[in-house]
């Protein structure tokens, strides 16, 4: 583990090598997508296989995250019958009431994703502060996109500087992050956490272990530089 101060989530994991690399390099969250339209979609059975050989002691430091888009209770039940997740990430139009229901019904933490293009979009997030355990600020998908995230686009990261004084709810930055851009993104946004998916892939849905390791190392280097002032 790197001991990085900035929280790191690697999302859209689809194979054992990528999972192992993420854990060994120091990721805090392992993200798995349960949204059929995504090229990163997996089944709960497949996730069980992917994490089966990880050392048991890592679960004190690493959390599993399931990404859903407007899931019904039945859809969540189908996953939870097979796989116990630590966190549910909601990437659809879920209301604050729905977020609270899932937290209580399933006994999990919830990350609520908010699409951002302009400063006005941050107002949407205020309704979820103090209800969701984490907020995730991602770029709004382009017109005509058939999935809400993983589109490899960013928004003006400096917009997030105005968010810090509005809530104590932890948050992560996503959208267009890569090993080469993440340090600048952290500096511009002040993000306490980052989330990457397509930015560490060699092709849609195919994670590159080298890029995962480089991404996490870049975050750790930025943390060290920030600590030195």
Assigned domain for 32 exists:
yes
Rounded CA gap, 104 and 107, in Å?
5
Assigned domain for 1 exists:
no
Assigned domain for 55 exists:
yes
Assigned domain for 107 exists:
yes
- Residues classed as catalytic: 11, 138
For the chain, residues with pLDDT lower than 70 are 1-4, 142-152, 164-166
Query: What is the pTM assigned to this prediction?
Result: 0.93
pLDDT of residue 58: 96
Q: Give Cβ neighbours of residue 32 (< 8 Å, ≥ 6 apart).
A: 12, 13, 42, 47, 50, 64, 65, 66, 67
CB atoms within 10 A of CB 88: 26
Rounded CA gap, 39 and 82, in Å?
22
**Domain of 150?**
7-227
CB atoms within 10 A of CB 129: 16
Assigned domain for 52 exists:
yes
The dihedral sign for the CA sequence 185, 186, 189, 194: positive
Kindly report the backbone phi and psi dihedral angles of residue 88, in degrees, each rounded to the nearest multiple of 5, phi listed first: -110, 125
Assigned domain for 216 exists:
yes
Rounded CA gap, 213 and 18, in Å?
9
Rounded CA gap, 222 and 192, in Å?
12
Radius of gyration in angstroms for the set of CA atoms belonging to the chain, rounded to a whole number: 16
Assigned domain for 87 exists:
yes
Assigned domain for 96 exists:
yes
pLDDT of residue 4: 52
CATH number of domain containing 105: 3.20.20.70
pLDDT of residue 162: 77
The domain tally of the chain equals: 1
Q: Give Cβ neighbours of residue 10 (< 8 Å, ≥ 6 apart).
A: 18, 22, 27, 29, 30, 31, 196, 197, 200, 207, 212, 215, 216
pLDDT of residue 52: 97
């Amino acid at each position: 583990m790197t001991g990085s101060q900035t929280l790191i989530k690697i999302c859209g994991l689809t194979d054992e090598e990528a999972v192992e690399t993420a854990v060994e390099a120091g990721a805090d969250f392992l993200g798995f997508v349960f949204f059929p339209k995504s090229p990163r979609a997996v089944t709960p059975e497949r996730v069980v296989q992917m994490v089966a050989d990880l050392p048991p002691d890592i679960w004190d430091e690493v959390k599993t995250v399931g990404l859903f888009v407007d899931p019904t209770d039945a859809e969540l039940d189908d996953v939870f019958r097979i796989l116990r997740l630590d966190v549910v990430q909601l990437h659809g139009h879920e209301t604050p009431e729905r977020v609270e229901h899932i937290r209580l019904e399933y006994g999990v933490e919830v990350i609520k994703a908010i699409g951002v293009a302009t400063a006005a979009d941050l107002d949407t997030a205020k309704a979820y502060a103090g209800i969701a355990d984490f907020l995730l600020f991602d770029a709004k998908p382009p017109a005509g996109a058939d999935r809400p995230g993983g589109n490899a686009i960013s928004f003006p990261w400096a917009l997030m500087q105005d968010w810090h004084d509005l809530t104590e709810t932890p948050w992560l930055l996503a959208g267009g992050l890569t090993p080469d851009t993440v340090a600048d993104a952290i500096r511009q946004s002040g993000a306490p956490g980052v989330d990457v998916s397509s930015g560490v892939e060699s092709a849609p849905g195919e994670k590159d272990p080298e890029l995962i390791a480089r991404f996490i190392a870049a975050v750790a280097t930025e943390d060290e530089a920030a600590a030195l002032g």
